Amino acid sequence: SETVLEQVRFQATGTIPLYVGPGVTRTTVRESRFTGRSVSTAVYLDAESAGALIQDNDFVLRTGREMIAVDGSGANRIIGNRFALGGRGGIFLYRNCGEDGVIRHQTPSYNQITDNSFSDAGWLRPRTVVVGAREGNRRYCADDAGYPFGSSADDRDGAVGNRVERNRTRR
């Protein structure tokens, strides 16, 4: 089945306003507005989740990190959104290798990030869309060591087949 969130006002009050958990598939968020403040991200697509559609939303909240984290999540479509970045990052694709000793199997691959608008991007490093944002550069990567598969065998993000096109950036 599919979860559809349409024309919702997400008011962040410190934590992540929309968290899509491990293994969740086919979540749609459309024509919604994210406001408030999050110490982390606005949307977090966690390990082994897939097939989300995030389309035609307004992101006007203050975050402590990037707006959308695609952490070992694949085949998502992030299309036609408007992001007011406040100097922070936009959409980061990565895989949290070994965090909490958990092997991450899926890579952030085959995602489509198109036709989004980013305003108030950072001057020196705008970082609107970053594919392969971590590449194993975390202290906890070895916490899942010892197995011949997933992030235990390779700490890198492994982001392949992603389409990043027609996004616009204003500073």
Per-residue pLDDT tens digits for 56-105? 999 999 999 999 999 999 999 999 999 999 999 999 999 988 888 889 99
pLDDT of residue 98: 81
pLDDT of residue 51: 98
What is the distance between the alpha carbons of residues 99 and 72, in angstroms, rounded to a whole number? 12
What is the distance between the alpha carbons of residues 33 and 131, in angstroms, rounded to a whole number? 25
State the residue for tokens 């110490």.
39
pLDDT of residue 116: 98
State the residue for tokens 């402590």.
64
Q: Cβ(65)–Cβ(90) under 8 Å?
A: no
- Which ranges of the chain have pLDDT less than 70? 1
Taking alpha carbons only, the member of 33, 59, 32 closest to residue 128 is 59
Q: Is 2 exposed, middle or buried (0-12, 13-18, 19+ CB in 10 A)?
A: exposed
pLDDT of residue 1: 64
Pairing verdict, β 27-30 and 58-59: unpaired
**142: number of Cβ within 10 Å:** 14
Q: Which residues make Cβ contacts (< 8 Å) with residue 113, sequence separation at least 6?
A: 78, 79, 91, 129, 162, 163, 164, 165, 167
Task: For the chain, give the number of residues.
Answer: 171
Domain boundaries, the chain: 3-169
pLDDT of residue 11: 97
